[in-house]
């Protein structure tokens, strides 16, 4: 059983819940295709940003003038921690048929994700207070567009998480709810991958160049 092939991305329910495991394959494959398409959106925003951040500064500030590395680091750690706690929630979904673990890990993930969004909004406010508003230059327009698109995705993930916590309470751990949590897990881990690109190629490159 342990060597059976994985039938879809993310944690497979496998032998623990055979029925849900069989139901999972097509819906999660479909969601995986959506995620790949979503990556295309982010890639084009990255391409725009890469050009604009160098060639589109106009008379505005350069990335190194306005980026705050320590707050980017805190945000990165919050999002990474939330990815790990969601992993623990997935484990609880698979291996603990009842008990509070799943809900507690999801709530912890929510708090970390909300903390990340809080840091990001605080950063935006600080930048705007310094006069680095989106309409000042092509660099700033594409910066806010890219980073806020990621932020809106994370916010959508947080809303999704609240909805699933309510569904867990109302509907219990049915196959439907399990599969929804598994898709949210993929969404959440994928957003962390996009953030790896943002902190590397936006923040770290911006401060170094």
Partner 1 sequence: MNGEPTTGGAVETYEKDFRSYCIGGALALVLTAIAFALVAFEILPVFERLVAIALLAVVQIVVHFRYFLHISWHSHRDDLQLVLFTSLILFLMVGGTIWILFNLHSRMM
68: helix, strand or coil = coil
**In this complex, which beta carbon is closest to partner 1, that of residue 160 or of residue 205?**
205
Closer residue to partner 1 in complex, CB, 107/204? 204
Measured distance CA(180)–CA(173) in Å, rounded: 11
Q: Smaller CB distance to partner 1: residue 15 or 126?
A: 15
Q: Is 202:50 a contact under the CB 8 Å cutoff?
A: no
Q: Which is nearer to partner 1, 44 or 58 (CB)?
A: 44
Nearest-approach distance from CB 24 to partner 1, in angstroms:
11
Query: Cβ of residue 117: shortest distance to partner 1, in angstroms?
Result: 19
Distances (CA, A) of 168 to 10, 93, 106: 20, 11, 11
Q: Which residues bind partner 1 (CB under 8 A)?
A: 1-2, 5-12, 14-16, 25, 29, 32-33, 36, 39-40, 43-44, 46-48, 50-51, 54-55, 69, 73, 76-77, 80, 83-84, 87-88, 90-91, 94-101, 186, 189-190, 192-193, 196-197, 199-201, 204-205, 207-209
Contacts 24+ apart (CB under 8 A), 8-13: 8/32, 9/186, 10/90, 10/182, 10/185, 10/186, 10/189, 11/87, 11/90, 11/91, 11/93, 11/94, 11/182, 11/185, 13/94, 13/178, 13/182
Query: Toward partner 1, which CB reaches closer, 44 or 152?
Result: 44
> Mind giving me the DSSP string for 67-107?
--HHHHHHHHHHHHHHHHHHHHHHHHHHH-SSSSHHHHHHH
Q: At its nearest, how many Å lie between partner 1 and the CB of residue 66?
A: 15
Contact between residue 46 and residue 204 where contact means Cβ atoms under 8 Å apart: no
Our CB check for partner 1 shows the closer of 14 and 133 to be: 14
Shortest spacing between CB 174 and partner 1, in angstroms: 16
Minimal distance, residue 21 CB to partner 1, in Å: 12
* Smallest separation (angstroms) from partner 1 to the CB of 193: 5
């Amino acid at each position: 059983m342990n060597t059976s092939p994985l039938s879809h991305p993310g944690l497979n329910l496998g032998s623990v819940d055979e029925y849900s495991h069989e139901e999972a394959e097509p819906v999660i494959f479909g969601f995986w295709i959506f995620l790949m398409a979503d990556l295309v959106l982010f890639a084009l925003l990255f391409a725009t940003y890469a050009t604009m951040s160098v060639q589109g500064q106009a008379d505005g500030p350069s990335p190194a003038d306005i980026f705050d590395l320590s707050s980017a680091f805190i945000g990165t750690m919050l999002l990474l921690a939330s990815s790990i706690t969601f992993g623990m929630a997935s484990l609880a979904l698979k291996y603990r048929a009842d008990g509070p673990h799943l809900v507690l890990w999801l709530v912890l993930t929510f708090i970390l994700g909300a903390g990340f969004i809080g840091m990001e909004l605080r950063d935006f406010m600080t930048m705007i207070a310094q006069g680095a508003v989106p309409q000042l230059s092509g660099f700033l327009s594409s910066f806010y567009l890219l980073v806020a698109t990621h932020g809106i995705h994370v916010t959508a993930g947080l809303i999704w998480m609240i909805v699933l916590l309510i569904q867990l309470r109302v509907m219990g751990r049915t196959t439907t709810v399990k599969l929804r949590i598994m898709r949210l897990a993929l969404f959440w881990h994928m957003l962390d991958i996009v953030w790896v690109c943002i902190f590397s190629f936006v923040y770290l490159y911006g401060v170094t160049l």
